[in-house]
Amino acid sequence: MIRSRNARAIANLGVASMLAMSLGACSSFGGLGGFGTSQPEVAQEPPPAPEMPASIRADELVGRWGLASYMNPADRTRTENAARGQCKQPYIIGAGTSGGVIMHLADEATPQELRLKGSPSGKNYIGPAGPAGGEKDREIVSFDGRVLVTRFIDKDAAVRYGNMVYVRCAPRA
């Protein structure tokens, strides 16, 4: 009887060992369904869409601007007038060294060169290099050469800053 108990224990231990080795082998073959592969397949992301040029050129934005913002669209006209009043202390949009514009990103004290980007939908954006409409971009809501209205894509920044209205300041006489 002792011999059969030992034999049974050894057989159970052997079966458990074989099961553990089998499960270990499955994981080295890419999981239960991936026999024949040494690594799990990684889904490849499609390549980024090529950057589209914006319909607004950077040189159209370079200059001195009065700046104000509004939350309520009904306040736009009043805000444009307030922005005109800011030309005594204008916001300067500079020309970048690689074809962009020098502006601030949301919540950053130092201005940097940003790109003008187009999109398949026809919208224009200002932001760092990358796909149009990224979290750090701002959408150009409207631009007529004299008044530029932008809105940040990032929801938190959009709530804090609202619609930014830039009104071109008259050139110095």
Query: pLDDT tens, 121-130?
Result: 999 999 999 9
Q: Are 108 and 86 found together in one domain?
A: yes
Residue 171's pLDDT is: 72
Q: Are 120 and 66 found together in one domain?
A: yes
Q: Give the chain's end-to-end CA distance (angstroms, integer).
A: 113
Residue 173's pLDDT is: 47
Evaluate whether 163 touches 67 at the Cβ level (below 8 Å). Answer: no
Q: Are 154 and 79 found together in one domain?
A: yes
pLDDT in tens, 46-101: 655 567 899 999 999 999 999 999 999 999 999 999 999 999 999 999 999 999 99
Residue 27's domain comprises: 1-44
Longest dimension (CA), the chain: 113
Evaluate whether 103 touches 93 at the Cβ level (below 8 Å). Answer: yes
